[in-house]
Amino acid sequence: MNSETGPTGPESEVRPWRSRTRLIHGDGHAAEPHGAVAAGIPLSTTFLRDERGELRSPFVYARTNNPARADLERRLAEISAGTEAAAFASGLAAANAVLQSLDAASRVLLGRDLYFGVKQLFRVAGTRAGHRIEEVDWSDSAAAKTALAKPAALVWAESPSNPELKIVDLAQLATLARGAGAIFVVDNTLATPLGQAPLALGADLVLEACTKAIGGHSDVTVGGLIVRDQSLPLWARVRELQNLAGAVPSPFDCWLVIRGLSTLAVRQREAVESALDLATQLARNPAVERVLYPGLPSHPGHAIAARQMTHFGSLLSILVRGGESAAARVIARVRLWSRATSFGGVHSLIEHRYLVEGVGSRTPPNLLRLSVGLEDPRDLREDLEAALRSD
């Protein structure tokens, strides 16, 4: 199912609602008492039983499930063309649920360029749990074929990747992963469900760090896992761990993410347009060695990205001419861009990833990561160009 034409809403027999509409209305299940148009936040941690001990609703206790989380999970599943979703207290808590769901001594293959935190989680906790963790450059299809000639339990990819914006042919990797008997997880955080539909390309599970563009305002940490087929045996373990380990978001956090979803389409449209414009301008700047952005035709993964994405995202990286010290000088000189980690929010952020990642980082020392927000793109460009000037 294409995310543009999803299932029919409850009262629209005639034509299916499009994704932007569904982001606002959900699937129509969230019937509010008093006819409230905006979703409320049911905060109760516990739910009534009647005299016979029967529950009045599907809810028992908030960690196990609650109305706000169930609403968010339905919306995430729906917009991602999945059958079910599970929400966690952060993107990493969601990744950890996958890790903890593996059989003992599993062979785990991670993309070489991957969000540092996910990589560290698998390296530290995965290795401690006895799994064999390997890294493969999924943008190199020969390397992918060699790695998946042997059986594996889990294949984990990001496309576009963070922070090098590498592109992976997701349909091709899905076929290879299936051949190796592996569960294929795609971290879709940079693209968002509106920019790319990995489940439709053959992924088994998708991770969305809602902390980023979905939440959209840098004020909530939530992670979502979405499954293509809820009968996947690992999914039952993920669900079990959601309750057993309890790394769940609060109802208020779920509500913030639901609110973020309702404006995702317009925020993304603006931010992606600004990012493409900025990338194009920076590619002509003599102080910039290279711009890493899949929307540029010069990007090695551009053709694949154009095929499998509906937009190229609002994150880009630049390699500053002159090495680490030149990059440090640029970041010290910006006035409008906020020097902070993260991405996908309304504020534009700039970060020297190599310094932040520290020991074990493979990120080029002269890389600056730029998260394009919703400020006037002319201000963003002028500020960065002034910081890049050598005077």
Among all residues, which ones are annotated catalytic? 63, 115, 187, 212
Q: Which lies closer to ligand PLP via its Cβ, residue 87 or residue 384? A: 87
Cα–Cα distance for residue pair 238/53, rounded to 1 Å: 28
Q: Which lies closer to ligand PLP via its Cβ, residue 22 or residue 353? A: 353
Among 19, 65, 80, 90, interactor with ligand PLP by CB under 6 A: 90
Q: Does 209 bind ligand PLP (CB under 6 A)?
A: yes
Q: Does 118 bind ligand PLP (CB under 6 A)?
A: yes
Segment contacting ligand PLP by CB under 6 A, of 30-38, 69-77, 89-97, 289-297: 89-97
Q: Which of residues 222-241 bind ligand PLP (CB under 6 A)?
A: 223
Q: How far is the CB of 305 from ligand PLP (least distance, A)?
A: 16
Q: How far is the CB of 344 from ligand PLP (least distance, A)?
A: 9
Which x/- pattern, by CB under 6 A, does the window 151-180 give for ligand PLP? Answer: -------x---x------------------
Q: How many CA atoms lie within 13 A of 11 on its CB side?
A: 4
- Which amino acid makes up residue 170? L
Residue 11: how many other CB atoms lie within 10 Å: 8
Q: Does 294 bind ligand PLP (CB under 6 A)?
A: no
- Looking at residue 99, the DSSP 8-state letter turns out to be H
Q: How far is the CB of 122 from ligand PLP (least distance, A)?
A: 12
Q: Does 196 bind ligand PLP (CB under 6 A)?
A: no
Whether 207 and 95 have beta carbons less than 8 Å apart is answered as yes
Q: Does 198 bind ligand PLP (CB under 6 A)?
A: no
Whether 174 and 205 have beta carbons less than 8 Å apart is answered as no
Cα–Cα distance for residue pair 248/240, rounded to 1 Å: 12
Among 187, 204, 253, 383, interactor with ligand PLP by CB under 6 A: 187
Cβ-based neighbours of 109, under 8 Å, separated by 6 or more: 134, 135, 136, 147, 148, 152, 154, 155, 156, 182
Q: How far is the CB of 118 from ligand PLP (least distance, A)?
A: 6
Cα–Cα distance for residue pair 27/251, rounded to 1 Å: 18
Q: Does 251 bind ligand PLP (CB under 6 A)?
A: no
Q: Does 117 bind ligand PLP (CB under 6 A)?
A: yes
Q: Which lies closer to ligand PLP via its Cβ, residue 139 or residue 211? A: 211
Phi/psi for 351 (5° steps) reads: -150, 140
Secondary structure (DSSP) of 227-285 = ES-TT-HHHHHHHHHHHHH-----HHHHHHHHHHHHHHHHHHHHHHHHHHHHHHHHTT-
Whether 280 and 157 have beta carbons less than 8 Å apart is answered as no
Footprint on this chain of ligand PLP (rule: CB under 6 A) = 90-92, 115, 117-118, 158, 162, 187, 189, 209, 211, 221, 223
